[in-house]
Amino acid sequence: MTRYKTHWFALSGASLCLAIMCALPLAAQDMAPAPPPPPEPGGHGMIHGPGPDAPGEGKIVTGIPLTAQIVVTHQNTLSDGNHINRTEQTTLYRDSQGRVRREVTVDAATPATGPVKHSIIMINDPVSGNRYMLDPGNKTARQMPSGPHHGRPPKGPDGPMADAVKGALSKNVQRDQLGSKTIDGFQATGERVTRTIPAGEIGNEKPIEVVTERWFSADLQLPLLVVHNDPLMGTATTKVTNVNRGEPDASLFQVPSDYKIVSGRPDEPFYVPLHH
């Protein structure tokens, strides 16, 4: 008989945003995210929805249907010179009514589990006023109301250090307009937002600059390219590719008939079992 060992894997809202083009690299006005919460017992991964400034999130966009691939690359250099490089991909669908579907592969790896992949499908349906998180593994759909709380990243940890970082990032902000350029055939307007943590603010000897460069397409109502550079967390580059402006099939925004629908609360995390 095969034995499974279940491990807990945590993805905060900001972490998942990196995985699925979430709020961290895409929102020039967002602060750098707090680290994910510590593991809890139960052997599940915790996932929040994408942030409000991820492609297809935030305001409802009608009349601009599309299908696109979203590629996120993460690069981080450790203190010993070692490099960590990861690439993740999400498929995004948006119909003329403003409904959005994301097909996400959560690619996790821990010393205990090794590489673990789990597919998640997220549907935001402003027409019905609901959003769903579908788990193809067990054919369940968690239904939650879609409203002003949708997509909001979870609250980060409290404490003097967290408060100091938040305060420093909110006060020392410089915005530079970068003009316009063409990205994969679409015109985009750029903005660079630099947030500076002054020397001594969090025990740092020198100022720390967190820089986000965001290129937004008014035609598609999507950020096409975002580069987020945080010395504490590395660089995340998010790019929208393979844009198809046709109308996606309506069935993509519906819960399949063989799925079990369970109720959830707004901003409730989605727990993913990770087995090895």
pLDDT tens, 211-228? 999 999 999 999 999 999
Architecture of the domain defined by 6-275: Clam (2.50)
Distance between CA atoms of residues 200 and 69, nearest Å: 41
How many percent of the chain have pLDDT more than 70?
Answer: 62
- SS3 percent helix, strand, coil of the chain, rounded to 5, is 10, 45, 45
Average pLDDT estimate for 131-138: 90
The pLDDT value given to residue 192: 97
Pick from 17-26, 76-85, 158-167, 175-184: least confident: 17-26
Amino acid letter for position 120: I
Question: Considering only 20-24, 151-155, 174-178, which range has the smallest mean pLDDT?
Answer: 20-24
What is the pLDDT confidence band of residue 78, given thresholds at 50, 70 and 90?
confident
In the chain the beta strands, taken as DSSP E runs, fall at 6-7, 44-47, 66-77, 83-94, 100-110, 114-125, 130-135, 140-145, 173-183, 186-197, 208-217, 222-230, 234-244, 260-263, 270-275
- Per-residue pLDDT, 84: 86
Please determine, for residue 53, whether its predicted confidence score (pLDDT) is greater than 70: no
| Token pair recorded at residue 219 | 């035609």
Is 52's pLDDT higher than 80?
Answer: no
Domain boundaries defined on the chain: 6-275
